[in-house]
Amino acid sequence: MENVEKSIEENKKKPKRKRNKPKKWVVSFWVCFSLLFFMLLVAASGLFYLWNQLEPTKSGSPIEVTIAKGSSANSVAKVLEDNGIIKNGFIFGYYLVLKDEGDNFKAGKYELTPGMDKAEVIAKLNAGDVIAQETITFTIPEGFTIAQMADKLSTEGLVDKEKFISLTKESRSWSGAENVLNIPQEATELINRLEGYLFPDTYEVVKGSTEEEIIIRMLKEQDRKLATLPENWPDELEKLGISMHELLTIASLIEREVVVDSERATVAGVIYNRLKEPMRLQIDATIQYALGEQKELLSIEDTKLDSPYNTYVIDGIPPGPIATPSLESIKAALYPEEHKFYYYVTKKDGTQSHLFAETYNQHLRNIEKSKETAQ
């Protein structure tokens, strides 16, 4: 018993062995290494995901894809994703922004194929490599009224007559067309607001174009033709003391009165001479326009027609054009010939040229001469 107690007592006196604890810097290293590894793994996974989402889709048959006019890069990306051309529109949209692409994409219908490389898709949209669309051609003769245009285009199956005419009466802007903005807002007496603003020419448009698209095309063509005039032509308006709308009105009168190009400026001079006096223009074509029909001979009653377009009863010019003037008639109205003529009469010899006079008595004699030349 004493030996046991002695052994216990000796054991108590022996120093206890300390356990080895891991050093703190070793723990910190492994924590940081694990965290870094995890972050790199996450980053690598993210980059792989982005790379994968920008890779071509599974190959397939060509698809017709329509890119709307004015589409943003993100909206284009969404359309491409919806059609299976790319995998992820959201990521592709940001890729376009990163590459500074998308601003020059052309609107239209494209033939794109699933499986195309993104660079090929971008190049195609930048180049405007659209599907060739079937087109139709139509011609609007010089001097036509809107009513005549509507009849012709309707007969050719290109427009709905009533809808076409209805649109030309609307007071509105026309998708970037500029000259049409010169129509006075207060001009409530106009039969057709766009009369004189739809340029006469031969047009090629996409088959199936709407009435509005055809009208806009013709309005913009007038803008293009006016741009070919001498740079200082607006100064001429100021010299003449007229507005752009009045210029087209006078040009339309010339268009309906003159066939021989060399006489356009001469007739323009007659019109301006009469306006300065003042003398009523007494142009038969204005009555025909007001009547809505082409009468070879006007009656006395016709000349008394109560209409703001009837230049036999109104002073000055009508409230707006009576037909679509050619560029030659616009030039004539802008640069009239200076002379002392106040009258003219058409020859009856088939040349469609005129005899001009300074006085009414000379005019009466010219009328007799005209009759003598009748074939």
CB distance 282 to 346 below 8 Å: no
Distance CA(311)–CA(244), nearest Å, equals 20
Q: Is the dihedral of CA 285, 218, 192, 241 positive or negative?
A: negative
Task: Express as a percent the part of the chain with pLDDT over 70.
Answer: 85
Q: What's the pLDDT tens digit per position in 198-223?
A: 999 999 998 999 999 999 999 999 99
For position 42, what pLDDT does the model report?
A: 61
The encoded tokens of residue 251 equal: 């040009």
Distance CA(333)–CA(266), nearest Å, equals 10
CB distance 200 to 324 below 8 Å: yes
Dihedral over alpha carbons 201, 167, 296, 143 (to 10 degrees): -20
Q: Is the residue at 37 inside a domain?
A: no
Place 108 in a pLDDT band, splitting at 50, 70 and 90. Answer: confident
Task: Express as a percent the part of the chain with pLDDT over 90.
Answer: 54
pLDDT surpasses 60 at 319? yes
The secondary structure of residue 322, as a DSSP letter, is: S
Q: Is the residue at 7 inside a domain?
A: no
pLDDT surpasses 60 at 67? yes
Lowest mean pLDDT among 58-62, 86-90, 236-240: 86-90
CA 17 to each of CA 11, 14, 47, 222: distance values in angstroms, whole numbers, following the listed order: 12, 9, 53, 105
What is the residue type of 22? P
Rounded to the nearest integer, the mean pLDDT of the chain is 87
The values of phi and psi at residue 206, to 5°, are: -65, 135
Q: What's the pLDDT tens digit per position in 156-185?
A: 999 999 999 999 999 999 988 999 999 998
Task: Using a cut of 0.85, tell me whether the model's pTM lies above it.
Answer: no
Q: Is the residue at 5 inside a domain?
A: no
Q: Is the residue at 222 inside a domain?
A: yes
pLDDT surpasses 90 at 295? no
What is the residue type of 279? M
Distance CA(222)–CA(216), nearest Å, equals 10
Number of domains into which the chain is organized:
3
Q: Is the residue at 88 inside a domain?
A: yes
* Residue 80, C-beta contacts closer than 8 angstroms, at least 6 positions apart: 65, 86, 89, 92, 112, 121
Which of 94, 127, 160 is where one domain is finished? 127
141 CB burial (10 A radius; 0-12, 13-18, 19+): middle
Residues 208 and 263 in one domain: yes
CB distance 240 to 179 below 8 Å: no
Distance CA(291)–CA(176), nearest Å, equals 33
Which of 99, 127, 155 is where one domain is finished? 127
Residues 123 and 235 in one domain: no
Residues 205 and 101 in one domain: no
Residues 80 and 118 in one domain: yes
The values of phi and psi at residue 12, to 5°, are: -65, -35
Residues 186 and 283 in one domain: yes
CATH number of the domain residue 100 falls in: 3.30.1490.480
Residues 290 and 240 in one domain: yes
Q: Is the residue at 51 inside a domain?
A: no
**Domain of 363, in residue numbers:** 340-375
Residues 319 and 194 in one domain: yes
Distance CA(237)–CA(239), nearest Å, equals 5
Q: Is the residue at 45 inside a domain?
A: no
> What is the widest separation between alpha-carbon atoms in the chain?
170
Region 192-198 average pLDDT: 96
Judged by phi (left if over 0) then psi (alpha if -120 to 50, else beta), residue 108 lies in: left
CB distance 244 to 237 below 8 Å: yes
Place 128 in a pLDDT band, splitting at 50, 70 and 90. Answer: confident
Residue with tokens 């109205």, as numbered in its chain: 333
Q: What's the pLDDT tens digit per position in 3-18?
A: 545 555 555 555 555 5
Residues 353 and 245 in one domain: no
Residues 245 and 100 in one domain: no
Region 277-295 average pLDDT: 91
Residues 152 and 278 in one domain: yes
Residue bearing the bigger pLDDT, 358 or 117: 358
For position 99, what pLDDT does the model report?
A: 80
Distance CA(149)–CA(165), nearest Å, equals 9
Residues 240 and 97 in one domain: no
Residues 97 and 111 in one domain: yes
Q: 92: closest CA among 64, 60, 56? A: 56
Region 18-28 average pLDDT: 57
Q: Is the residue at 97 inside a domain?
A: yes
Q: Which helix (H) or strand (E) holds 11?
A: helix 2-13
Determine the angle formed by the axes of helices 327-334 and 264-276, rounding to 10 degrees.
40
The encoded tokens of residue 89 equal: 């529109």
Distance CA(67)–CA(102), nearest Å, equals 12
